[in-house]
Amino acid sequence: MTPSKWGSCNAAKGIVWLNTELSAKPINATDYVILHELAHLISDRHDDQFVAVLNQHMP
């Protein structure tokens, strides 16, 4: 996947990077970025499987 300003994920290595500036953002935005990057451990694309993980944990 393409790294974003706020976070990125290397699923092959099981590593998630988060921008430390996230700590100044609202907690729900931070939660979303963390969930987004963790979901990339399941799917490296924004496909149906990826969206299902987001919907399950942050409907």
Contact footprint for Zn ion (CB under 5 A): 1
Nearer to Zn ion, 5 or 26 (CB): 5
Side-chain-facing half-sphere of 4: CA atoms under 13 Å: 12
Q: How far is the CB of 46 from Zn ion (least distance, A)?
A: 6
Taking the complex as a whole, how short is the minimal distance between the CB of residue 3 and Zn ion, in angstroms? 9
Q: Please list, in sequence order, all residues whose beta carbon lies within 8 angstroms of the beta carbon of residue 54, skipping any fewer than 6 positions away.
A: 35, 36, 39
* Min dist. Cβ of residue 8 to Zn ion (A): 8
Q: Which residue is nearest to Zn ion (CB)?
A: 1
* Integer Cα distance of 15 and 1 in angstroms: 13
